[in-house]
Structure 1
Amino acid sequence: MKRTALVLALSLVAGQAAAQPRPDVTTMTCAAAQALVARSGAIVVTTGPATYSRIVGDVSFCTIEKSTRPDYERTRDVADCFVGYRCVDPFSEGRDGP
């Protein structure tokens, strides 16, 4: 009985952690968004009502065939805040897709 309760409690905690929302850079100051990326190295953030982006601190957080390009996002206090980099395919001249 105690074992079942422990398993149930652990699964509830794990489920709550997985359900946490992405950080929303539009509600942060530019400095806070930059610090979040620097602290995390690579993070997926909300960038608008229905958009998100994976932002990295440097190319070491990209797969080996990727390079980086600067990523600017709207934050609470700056319209085009440099928050970090995006991983891009260097052979598509930095475009995200076709």
Structure 2
Amino acid sequence: MPRLTSTLALIFLSTGALAQVGPSTTGRPCSADRNLVSSRGAIVLSTGQYTYGRFVRDARYCQVDQYPQPAYVPSDDNPQCFVGYRCADGPDDDF
């Protein structure tokens, strides 16, 4: 039983670490936000006090049924800073 408890604790701890939000876009210059997305490939950034989003460098970081859509965020020096893309769901292919 102690081994199961330890294993479950590790799963919960690692899951929490994966869900952490990165730095806020509003306190950084636009170029820093753009460079961060570009260097990481995909990252979750805070875009306001209670908002966040996942931003990607290109389509390789989206799921197969998604496509990259241009993403703009508020930054310290630009209220509509292009940082990369968001992964958007593609249209349904029901015929």
TM range (shorter): 0.7 to 0.9
Identical positions, percent: 40
Give the paired residue count.
78
Residue 26, structure 1, aligned to residue 29, structure 2: no
- Point out 4+ residue stretches in structure 1 off by more than 4 angstroms: none
Q: Where do 1:1-98 residues align within 5 Å?
A: 18=17, 22-91=22-91
Structure 1: gaps of 5 or more residues = 1-10, 93-98
1:64-87, Cα deviation, whole Å (9 max, x unpaired): 110011000000000100000000
TM-score if structure 2 supplies the norm length?
0.74
One-letter amino acid of the counterpart of residue 39, structure 2: R
**Gaps in structure 2 of 5+ consecutive residues:** 1-9
Q: Distance between the aligned counterparts of 1:91 and 1:53, measured in 2? A: 21
Name the TM-score, length of structure 1 as normaliser. Answer: 0.72
Q: Deviations over 1:16-41 (max 9, x none)?
A: xx4x7521111110000000000100
The whole-number CA distance in structure 2 between the counterparts of 1:59 and 1:28 is 25
